[in-house]
Structure 1
Amino acid sequence: MAETGPCEPWPVYWTCEVDAYSPELTGYAVSAATRILWALSGRQFGQCEVTLRPCAEDCTDLNAVPLWGWTAGYSMPPWDFYRTPYCAGGCRTGCSCTHIPTVRLPDAVSRVVEVKLDGTPMATGGYRLDGRSLMRTDGGVWPRCNNLARDDDQPGTWSVTAVVGEEVPDSGRLAMGELACEIAKAMNGVDCRLPPGVTQLVRQGVTIQYPDMGQLLKDGRTGLYLVDLFLASENPDGLKQRARFGNVDRVLRGLR
């Protein structure tokens, strides 16, 4: 699955004075810093609002592979949700003695914005989000059919609009401020603290050593203190992306 990057710029705690720079320049700096930190931190931070179009499957059907439709202008989710199992129709679990109409949403859903049934928004008291399970609490059941050929404001459809992803921590916002500041300075032709391409400079008998930028980037670091502190704490092993899990038994059963 292709990854398209963060949905929107990360929030910034500026560590320098940026009033002298144009909004266009700081906008480019923030956009670039967002993409860089998102990638170096393992593509694990940043939130997106997406609209999911559930297709129900039986809880006992181990061969079915559930599908989700995505709308709301969001081209592709950053994680592999297409093989995430979920149930719609009421499952008995080890902690419940009753059948509760439940839909298991993709991982890292922080909140549900809206649920529509037949194009009409449900009252917020009619459902509850428990972890990644969306439970219906108004006495009704989730629809077993969803006409994906129609928009979610039409009869015969239903949708869940949710915010997915992990919020950027304060350390990430400070790292954004430091990196975006240095990028803005470089764009404006001002001396900045971004490591230069040279690794050693000799002037008047004095040797100045610079970090090897190529090696820094290979190690997932930038040479900036707040940025590297954030990366070392949130992605110490330099992972390229979030871990993904697959159910081998489920795949093998589907091939029989």
Structure 2
Amino acid sequence: MPLQTGPCMAWPTELCCETEGKEPEEIERWTLIASQILWALSGRRIGPCPVVVRPCKRACLESSPVSFQAGIGTGPWIPYIGSDGLWRNASVCGCKSDCSCGELCEVWLETPVYDVTEVNIDGQVLPATAYRVDAPGRLVRTDGECWPDCQDMSAAPGQPNTFSVTYRWGLPVDEAAVAAVSELTCHLMKGCGSGSCGCKATQRGATRFIRQGVEMDFGDPTLIYKEGRTGLPLVDLWLSVVNPYRLTSPSRVYSPDFKRPRVTTWP
């Protein structure tokens, strides 16, 4: 499930339909509805939306057995049994990447990461030069220090002994998305007028017509919605580009090495 349950705001539009006589509040409402529909149909990835997370440092171990000193090495090593049933030794000093000779101090963020606006440790904001983001969603410390091993989760972000990351999650609303949401907004405003209890443009029509020996069959216009499409050329073209396989949510891979960050949802 994504971090957001809907778009954090209405997407920008360039309406090509007649809006005379429409109240700004009504236009804004239908723009938000169109944005919510396209956000869901596009795989719940379009943003970007700000989010504050409390990350957990990457772990080398699947458990915490008793440590012991190896014969040679740079520090303590811990034996453990992996998920495949084999014994291995893990260092408590950090984790080595498969493409790095040394330790990488990194935490995992939900993707897609648009940008990082703030990293706060113990109430101090780190400069942007102290970290970088590696795909997919690895926040890597680059100033020679390392992320905290633990933090006080009962304290608010910015307090002593806390670690929080503020970043924007999601893909940008590009020009194609603006064109798509503009077309859908106009469609909804035309068929769902103010005060109406239903959308006239989407009502089910006749599927079979027989008269004077002539029989005609029409497709059910509502079946296209089951395929995650709207019947609007520009909207469906955009959906076929950004979500060709009709995914309902972003695909993700889970790793025992990266702990999921904690996100406060209320208050």
Judge same fold: TM > 0.5, yes or no.
Answer: yes
Q: 1-side partners of 2:42 and 2:238: how far apart?
A: 8
Deviations 1:20-68 (A, max 9, x none): 4211101110111112112222223222211110123532x1259xxxx
Q: Shift of the alpha carbon at 1:156? A: 0.6
Q: Name 2:205's counterpart in structure 1.
A: 198
TM-score (norm 1): 0.73
Gap regions ≥5 residues in structure 2 = 65-91, 259-267
Q: Name 1:49's counterpart in structure 2.
A: 50
**Structure with the higher fraction of residues in helix conformation:** 1
Correspondences of 1:64-143 after superposition (within 5 Å):
90-131=94-135, 132-143=137-148
CA radius of gyration, larger in? 2
Q: Shift of the alpha carbon at 1:115? A: 0.3
Q: 2-side partners of 1:57 and 1:236: how far apart?
A: 33
Q: Name 1:157's counterpart in structure 2.
A: 162
Gap regions ≥5 residues in structure 1 = 65-87, 251-256
Deviations 1:186-210 (A, max 9, x none): 34369x99344214698xx9x9997
Q: Name 2:9's counterpart in structure 1.
A: 8
SS at match of 1:245: coil
Q: Shift of the alpha carbon at 1:211? A: 5.8
Q: 1-side partners of 2:101 and 2:253: how far apart?
A: 29
Identity %: 37
RMSD: 3.5
TM-score (norm 2): 0.71
SS at match of 1:100: coil
Correspondences of 1:9-48 after superposition (within 5 Å):
9-48=10-49
Aligned residues: 224
Q: Shift of the alpha carbon at 1:16? A: 2.0
CA 1:247 to 1:126, structure 2 compared with 1: closer, same or farther past 3 Å?
closer
Q: Name 1:175's counterpart in structure 2.
A: 180
CA 1:173 to 1:158, structure 2 compared with 1: closer, same or farther past 3 Å?
same
SS at match of 2:201: coil
CA 1:179 to 1:211, structure 2 compared with 1: closer, same or farther past 3 Å?
farther
Q: 2-side partners of 1:200 and 1:234: how far apart?
A: 32
Match of 2:234 among 226, 231, 252: 226
Q: Name 1:72's counterpart in structure 2.
A: none
Q: 2-side partners of 1:28 and 1:214: how far apart?
A: 24
